Amino acid sequence: MNKELLSILEKNSRITPAEIAVMLGTTEEAVKEEIKKLESDKIILGYRTLINWEQVDKDTIKAYIELKITPQAAKGFDRVAEKIYKYPQVKSLTLMSGAYDLLLEVEGETLRDVAMFVSEKLSQMDSVIATTTHFVLKTYKKENVIFQHPDKDPREVITL
Amino acid sequence: MMNYDNILSKKASCIPPSGIRKFFDIVSEMKDAISLGVGEPDFVTPWPIREAGVTSLEKGRTHYTSNAGTMELREEISRYVNRKYNLNYNPKNEIIVTVGGSEAIDITLRALLNPGDEVLIPEPSFVCYKPCTILAGGVPVPIVTEEKDNFRLTKEKLLEKITDRTKVLILPFPNNPTGAIMEKEDLEAIASVLRDTNIIVLSDEIYSELTYNGKKHVSFASIDGMWERTVTINGFSKAFAMTGWRLGYLAAPAPLCSVMYKIHQYAIMCAPTTSQLAAVEALKNCDGDVENMCKEYNQRRRVLVDGFRKMGLSCFEPEGAFYVFPNISSLGYSSEDFAKKLLEEEKVAVVPGTAFGECGEGFVRCSYAYSIESIQEALKRIGNFVERHKK
């Protein structure tokens, strides 16, 4: 039931264990126990709300930054990553294959904030060879949710 | 003034219209109304299929195909029904691609029936079998399936209705509206009755990909000795959420196919080309999409069944399609009154069971081709209604 439970919660974290139990044909207790276990195993890391900030706060600037790092031995990338993800501006950080090594999602209040963070913090680090900054213009889809989606059911009300 | 009544075909004029449609036209204008009335998936066709359709248009594939459908699609259908249902059909002369399962049903009956031939129709079931039988000159003979038999067709009930005029038995499983399925043993029992007869089975398996509780669909033609007497009908609408593409198919022994082929050729020419080209993608690469949709239907199914049972209504557990068929007779209203009152008082649309045959009296059909949130809201409202009207 694990994967199905997780995908239900991933879609809607506010759904109750009782509701999940019905959907999966099991008991509320079993669901509660399973969720508890998934939390303690750090498989479920948190319950968040997906917000279209572009609707609320037009001033937030978002950028994806590619970082090229000097080749690292063993767990070298992890050490560099640790230094980077401690900055609160960094919303996500992933190690990538391909033309660059690390991909950061950075947020700031102004363009300048982000630019300064790149030039004064990231480029200054010894192991960083090159940076490329891409500013986000518009988000269409995130976490499998399409941001501006027509809600109306296009079907006829009754069909046999 | 022309008197059209004298002009129109008697046979066609006598067919009752589906009155349900009109009755529910008001729903679409009602604010905050929730419908559980729709008999088609809420999912949009998976993107790769849509893209294949778009690509075909970009390439200018806007012409007729061969009458029976493109060879590529027929070959894919042949492979698909083989890997899914263990059926063997030759794409050259045993498969016809049709305009939805509906056309397949129509041309099968037209190819088989002589005036007065009887067609056995298990009910409750989909609305088209009866009128199509009448139009083809046949005589519809309903067989009532009951809640106590899990709405399955039993050998005994079948035997009761067979006469020397019986030409066709329709097997509409997984069933719309009951959600009943027929398992291998059930089909074996039917086969044992048919083995020494000349009765042809029209097996409408349009919901074959949507079964639950781990019960995989069994195709009637895969039962020993039944291939030669079966017309297998299936399509893309339900499994791949492709209702608007109007694409289905039938598979049958070549001597049957060749006659259906003629009717199809003259009445239809060929199924839509765009749909045919898109459907190849569906059969080749979309098993995962179907599985995901099925998983979601299953969750909703459990929510609906559980919801009705908690209201104190008897609700048969459906194991196929995407409908539940709760028994509302304990409230003392006819199916139609129940549906009308529910719509007026709580603004929830369901379909009266009588739309699917007289024996549907006492039941209503609720579709779970809706989001969990809509289903939960609908259940809440129906719950209020039942509470208020409980005897």
Domain range summary for chain B, segments of one domain joined by + = 7-45+288-389, 47-285
| CB of B238 less than 8 A from some CB of A | no
**For residue A71, what pLDDT is reported?**
78
CB-based contact, A157 to chain B, within 8 Å: yes
What is the per-residue pLDDT for B64?
Answer: 97
CB-based contact B204:B126 (threshold 8 Å): yes
pLDDT at A143 over 90: no
Nearest to B24 among A4, A12, A157 (CB): A157
**Where would I find the beta strands (DSSP E) of chain A?**
61-69, 90-95, 102-108, 128-135, 141-142, 145-146
User: Is A50 a residue whose pLDDT tops 90?
Assistant: no
Looking at residue B138, its amino acid is G
pLDDT digit of tens for each residue in chain B (391 aa)? 899 989 999 999 988 876 566 566 777 778 788 999 989 999 999 999 999 999 999 999 999 999 999 999 999 999 999 999 999 999 999 999 999 999 999 999 999 999 999 999 999 999 999 999 999 999 999 999 999 999 999 999 999 999 999 999 999 999 999 999 999 999 999 999 999 999 999 999 999 999 999 999 999 999 999 999 999 999 999 999 999 999 999 999 999 999 999 999 999 999 999 999 999 999 999 999 999 999 999 999 999 999 999 999 999 999 999 999 999 999 999 999 999 999 999 999 999 999 999 999 999 999 999 999 999 999 999 999 999 998 7
Average pLDDT score over chain A: 90
CB contact under 8 A, B37 and A159: yes
Taking the Cβ of residue B318 and every Cβ of chain A, the question of whether any pair is shorter than 8 Å is answered with no
Report domain A58-137's class.
Answer: alpha beta
Across the interface, of A19, A25, A159, the residue whose CB is closest to B39 is A159
Q: Can you tell me the mean pLDDT for A36-49? A: 94
Question: A24 in contact with B at a CB cutoff of 8 Å?
Answer: yes
- A151 touching chain B per CB within 8 A: no
Cis status, amide bond into B174, omega within 30 of 0? yes
Confidence tier at A9 by pLDDT (50, 70, 90): very high
Predicted confidence at residue B211, as pLDDT, reads: 98
Q: Which CATH number fits domain B7-45+288-389: 3.30.360.10, 3.90.1150.10, 3.40.30.10, 1.10.357.10?
A: 3.90.1150.10
Whether B149 and chain A come into contact, CB under 8 Å, resolves to no
Tell me which amino acid residue B228 is: E
Give me the pLDDT at residue A94, please.
Answer: 96
So what's the pLDDT on residue A74? 66
CA distance B30 to B34: 9
**Considering CB atoms only, which of A8, A24, A157 is closest to B38?**
A157
Q: Which CATH architecture has domain B47-285?
A: 3-Layer(aba) Sandwich (3.40)
Interface check for B35 against chain A (CB to CB < 8 A): the answer is: yes
**Every domain of chain A and the residues it spans:** 2-40, 58-137
Q: Residue A52's pLDDT band (boundaries 50, 70, 90)?
A: confident
Instruction: Please tell me which residue of chain B has the smallest CA distance to A25.
Output: B302
What are the two backbone dihedrals, phi and then psi, of residue A128, each rounded to the nearest 5 degrees? Answer: -85, 120
Q: CA dist B245 to B98, B105, B150, B279, B325, Å?
A: 11, 17, 33, 9, 28
User: How many beta-carbon contacts under 8 Å exist across A and B?
Assistant: 54
Q: What is the pLDDT of residue A76?
A: 82
**Which among B302, B355, B376 has the least Cβ separation from residue A160?**
B355
Chain B residues in contact with A160 by the CB 8 A cut-off are 18, 20, 39, 126-127, 176, 351, 355-356
Q: Do A159 and B355 lie within an 8 Å CB cutoff?
A: no
Alpha helices in B175-232 (DSSP H): 184-194
pLDDT at position B29, please?
77
